[in-house]
Amino acid sequence: MDPTMDEFESDWVHAVFGAFRDEAVSLAADFGTRVKNEIDSVAATQEVRPPSATSLLASVVIESGNIAADLIHPGSESDSDEERDDD
């Protein structure tokens, strides 16, 4: 145990702070709601919340389509060729 604990437990300063320790803090009525709204907003903007199931499924479908296209046209490197042409 912390050796200073007993020393401070019997301290009058500790005793006078009992008024603060026993005190119930009254928060603004909307404090919790405000915090949760802020968290919700941050979660949306910072992409902390993953995409919804619908958009996740949509991205899988698009990716599958791309893979299928690659399989059908295996030699197609047109994108990179075009990029080189542009350069």
Footprint on this chain of other proteins (rule: CB under 8 A): 1-2, 4-5, 7-8, 10-17, 19-21, 23-25, 27-28, 31-32, 34-36, 38-40, 42-43, 46, 48-50
CB 22 within 8 A of CB 28: no
Q: What is the smallest separation between the CB atom of 6 and other proteins, expressed in angstroms?
A: 11
* Cβ contacts of 50 within 8 Å, gap of 6 or more: 56
**Identity of the residue, 2 or 79, whose beta carbon is nearer to other proteins in the bound complex:** 2
Distance, in Å, from the CA atom of 8 to the CA atom of 33, rounded to the nearest integer, reads: 38
Nearer to other proteins by C-beta: 49 or 73? 49
**Least separation, in Å, of the C-beta of 54 and other proteins?**
13
d(CA 55, CA 74): 28
Q: Which is nearer to other proteins, 15 or 69 (CB)?
A: 15
- CB of residue 57 to other proteins, shortest distance in Å: 15
- Euclidean distance between CA atoms 46 and 67, whole angstroms: 29
